[in-house]
Structure 1
Amino acid sequence: MSAFQALVLAGSRGGVDPVADYAGVRHKGLIVLGGETLLTRVLRAVDQAGASWVGVSTSDPEIIAALTSMAKAGPLPAAGGPSQSVHDGASIMGTPLLVTTVDHALLQPEWITEFIAKAPADCDIAVLMAPEAVVRAAAPETKRTYWRFRDGGYSGCNLFLLKNERALNAVAFWRKAESLRKQPWRIAAMLGPVMLVRYALGLMTLDETLERLGRAAGVKAAVVRSCYGLAAVDVDKPADLDLVRSLVEAA
C-alpha cells in the first residue's frame, strides 16, 4: 500500500484536561515540546511518513486556528467520543486511513511506515502494539497499561490502520462497546463466554485474540508488533509529559 490518509484525534472529553492544565495550556495539542506543539509534532510525523491528506478531528477553536497554516492538514468536526470521530472521519476521508492521537508526542515517521508495511495485505484493520520488554527497555520509567496474553504482555501504540471500507464494521463494534462502558456485562456478552474465560485463564495469544475480536466485529483484524518501545508512550498524565520532555531534551 503506497497512498494513505491520516486522521489525528484531537477531541476533548469535556472539563479540565489534567495534562493540559499541568502544562498551562487549554488543550493538550497545544503543549510545547522541543520548541513545537504536540499538534505540530504529530502532523509532521504523518506528513513525513507520506500521508496525502491529514484530517484533525477537533472542535477546539485554538487547534482549528493552528491548522490554517499547515499544509495537507485540515479540521474535521469531533464527535462525542473517539469511536464516532473515527467513523465520521473515515466516512469523509475514505480508506486506507491511518488513525492516531494528538498526544502521541514522540511519534516518528519510521514507526508509521514500518507499521503500514508490516500490516498483512489481507486484513481489513490493523493495530500496532509493542511487547512489554521492548517498552521497558526503551523507557524504564514509564507506567503503561499492558494487556496480558499467553505470549506475553503488550501495550497499545495509538496507531490504527483502516485498510478498506469493511474496517468501518470494527469501528461500529467499538462504538457499541463504548456506549456500553457502564454495563461491562453487556460488553462481555458481545465477546462470548468462551473467549472471555480463555483470556482470563491466560490461554489466548495476542494474534488469536485479535482474530476473534475481528470475527466478532465482522472484519479480519491483525496486530503488528512494534520494535520501537517509545511508540507505546503517549501523554495521558502529567508524569508522561515529564518523561517525554526528558527524552526530547536528552536527544
Structure 2
Amino acid sequence: MLAYILAGGEKTEFTPQGKAFARIHGKQMVEYVIEALQGVSEIEHIVVINNQKSLLDNLREALQQPENPDEYILIATCDVPFLTADAVRDFLDRCNCEADFYYPIVGKEDQERRFPEIRRTYVKLKEGSFTGGNLFLVKPSKLIPLLGRVEKILDLRKSPLALSAELGFSFVLRMAFSKLTGMLTIRKVEDRVAELFQINARAVISPYPELANDIDRPEDLLLAENLLSG
C-alpha cells in the first residue's frame, strides 16, 4: 500500500516552510508521522506531498500519483505527532475494503482518557459523541471527481445559509437536532454522504485518540512537547 502525507499548505506561522517542519524535541513534526507509518508492514512506500499550496491542492496531487487509481491508498496529515503504528494498523484492520472511503472517528471517552489536556469538538450521534481523525483510506478514482464539490463546501463553511442549501436544509436541521439529542446514527450520516457525493463512505470507530489530535496553532507545539517528553 502507498501512503501519502499532506505536508504543504499556505499557513506560515509555524515556519516559513509550513507547520510540517516545525520542531518538537528537535525533530520535525512530519517525521513523527513518517516513523508511525514506517512501523506498519502493509505500507510499502511513503510519499510526502509538500507543494506549499492549499490542503486541497496537496490532496489532489496525492490522488493523482498512484499508477492504479482503483487501489486503496492511505492519506495522513502532517500534524499528528502523537500518531503510532498501532493506531494506524488498527484503523486499517477495521476497514473491510468494501467501501470507497474510510474515515476514523474517536469516542469522547477515549479521547479524554488519553488526552485530557486537549480540547476537541465533538458530534453527538446515537452511538456516542465523536471527534474526527486525520487518516483516510481511499480509492483515488472515486475521490478525484468529487474534489470540485469538496472545494465548494469548504468555501461555504463560513456561510451557514449557503452551506445548508448545498447540503440540504433537512439534513442540516437533523444534524443540529442531533447535537442536542444524539438521535442521528452513523449510518444515516453515511447514507447522506452517499446521496451528496455518490461515494460509498464509511466511518470507522477507533479506540486510538492518537489519530485525532492535530496541531492547529503554534502554541499547540508547547503542549505537544510536554506530552511527548516521555
TM-score for both structures, normalised by structure 2: 0.86
Indicate the percent of aligned positions where both proteins have the same amino acid. 23
Q: 1:83 aligned to 2:56?
A: yes
Q: Which moved more, 1:25-34 or 1:148-157?
A: 25-34
Instruction: Check whether the contact 1:100–1:159 (CA below 8 A) recurs between aligned residues.
Output: yes
Cα distance in 2 for residues equivalent to 1:110 and 1:170: 31
Match of 1:58 among 38, 50, 57: 50
Q: 1:121 aligned to 2:110?
A: no
1:128 shift after superposition: 0.8
Q: 1:44 aligned to 2:35?
A: yes
Q: Deviations over 1:168-212 (max 9, x none)?
A: 345443223123335443322222122112111113123321331
Please state whether the residue corresponding to 1:112 is helix, strand or coil.
helix
Cα distance in 1 for residues equivalent to 2:146 and 2:111: 27
One-letter amino acid of the structure 1 residue matched with residue 30 of structure 2: L
Match of 1:179 among 155, 159, 181: 155
Cα distance in 1 for residues equivalent to 2:83 and 2:21: 16
- Map of 1:106 onto structure 2: 82
- Map of 1:139 onto structure 2: 115
Instruction: Check whether the contact 2:121–2:131 (CA below 8 A) recurs between aligned residues.
Output: yes
Cα distance in 2 for residues equivalent to 1:115 and 1:170: 24
Q: Deviations over 1:99-133 (max 9, x none)?
A: 11111111111211111111132110010111111
- Map of 2:174 onto structure 1: 198
Quote the RMSD (CA, aligned, Å): 2.2
One-letter amino acid of the structure 2 residue matched with residue 58 of structure 1: N
Provide the aligned length of Structure 1 versus Structure 2: 222
Instruction: Check whether the contact 1:147–1:153 (CA below 8 A) recurs between aligned residues.
Output: yes
TM-score for both structures, normalised by structure 1: 0.79
Flag structure 1 segments of 5+ consecutive residues without an equivalent.
60-77
Instruction: Check whether the contact 1:131–1:153 (CA below 8 A) recurs between aligned residues.
Output: yes
